[in-house]
Amino acid sequence: MSMPIAVTSNEHDWFIRSSRASLPENANYSGYYHWRRNGAYPFMSEFKNTTIYYMHYDSKPNWPVLNWQNNALRNDMFVTIAFLKFHPLIRFQNWLAIFDVLRDIKNHIETYANQSEVAKDKKIILCAYRDNAKENDKRQLAASGLDSIVNYELGMIGRGNQICYSNEDSVAGCVHELLSDILSFHKDNEEVVPMWEITVIDIFKIILQFGNPFLSRLASRVQSSKQAEILTMIQLLLPGTNSIYYGEEIGMRDLANDSMTIPQRGAMQWDDSTNAGFSSAASPKVDVSPDFKEVNWALQYGQSRSQLKMFQKLAKMRQRDETLAFGSAHIGSLIDGEESIRDSW
């Protein structure tokens, strides 16, 4: 587990509470970060047009710096560190302890499932993120009983970031590179079997994920609704378990930066009625994107061709076609910004 010793994300709960310290329930968080009446880039940035500035890592406004001179922060950190030090499952990279606990949990769950009338005919899946795990750790996690690992690399795709360079017209190059690396790893490490390479030895799986509550929405990251739709299509064509964040099936985008709601956690856009059909409240606590009249579930459901209809058709195809569910995925060469993906049984 990683600890935020110097900085956190600007989407961290502490930072959000600190930015809203005028509320009584957040008052204790006011000094968790460095706030000033003025400041200059690259170490200070204005917070959402408020004329209040906060200190952050060099040229990284999304990495605000913690204020260790604040007693409340220090106490919070020390309590957290003390807890992690003695907790067997999430100690600092103590993988031997993690493997032992995983085996114990797996054995307990299987014993429960075999003895339970409710669970005896069901498969209970253990899954985890692996962004901090080395390749050998992944193999050990699988051998210790972990059924599934969330593939985080696809969440790194974004137009003009450190993965997808700004001089590229599309994200095809970085998508090709990431998918090639993922497939190459599983080809070279057959003991870590992804879902698209089922063997009689194991049923270890990969969960594919482009978005989650902590990532900017896909259409906003790639700065193109069409490219986001194509990436969602690719995700649904890859054998494996797909984790879809709500709203991605219709191409929702991030909220504006001055929204009080975390940008990627805006209200689901169901239709073009008040508050996008999400709430009948006069002042809902979750903000709605202003494009909800053009991007919503009801509109796309009523169209013969839309991102939602594509999503539905491919989801149904995955249920029917065993090649998508249990086959192997192969990615071709990138030629003139175009790539091919082939599924085989």
- Annotate 183-233 with DSSP letters as a single string: HHHHHH-TTS--GGG--SS---EEEEES--TTS--HHHHHT-HHHHHHHHH
- Asked, for residue 128, whether it belongs to a domain, the answer is no
In a domain, 116, yes or no: no
Per the structure, the count of domains in the chain is 2
Alpha-carbon gap, residue 313 to 9, rounded angstroms? 37
Q: Kindly state whether residue 81 falls inside one of the protein's structural domains.
A: yes
| 42 and 176 belong to one structural domain | no
Same domain, 325 and 227: yes
Give the residue from 65, 86, 107 where a domain finishes.
86
DSSP conformational letter for 7: B
Closest C-alpha among 240, 213, 207 to residue 343: 240
For residue 95, tell me if it sits in a domain.
Answer: no
Window from 22-26, 156-160, 202-206, 299-303 with minimum mean pLDDT: 202-206
Report yes or no on 194 lying in a domain. yes
One domain, residues 78 and 178:
no
Residue-wise pLDDT tens digits, 191-224: 554 433 222 223 334 445 566 677 788 888 888 8
Domain boundary among 56, 86, 116: 86
Q: Does residue 124 form part of some domain?
A: no
Task: Say if 273 falls within a structural domain.
Answer: no
Do 157 and 23 belong to one domain?
Answer: no
Instruction: CATH number of the domain at 240, please.
Output: 3.20.20.80
Domain boundaries, position 223: 144-253+295-344
Is residue 107 included in any domain, yes or no? Answer: no
The pLDDT tens digits for 30-72 are 999 999 999 999 999 999 989 999 999 888 899 999 998 898 9
| 305 and 163 together in one domain | yes
Q: What is the pLDDT of residue 3?
A: 45
C-alpha pair distances (Å), 322 with each of 64, 326, 330: 47, 6, 16
pTM of the model: 0.54
Query: Parallel, antiparallel, or unpaired: how do β-strands 205-209 and 241-243 relate?
Result: parallel
User: Are residues 167 and 70 both part of a single domain?
Assistant: no
Q: How high is the pLDDT of residue 226?
A: 86
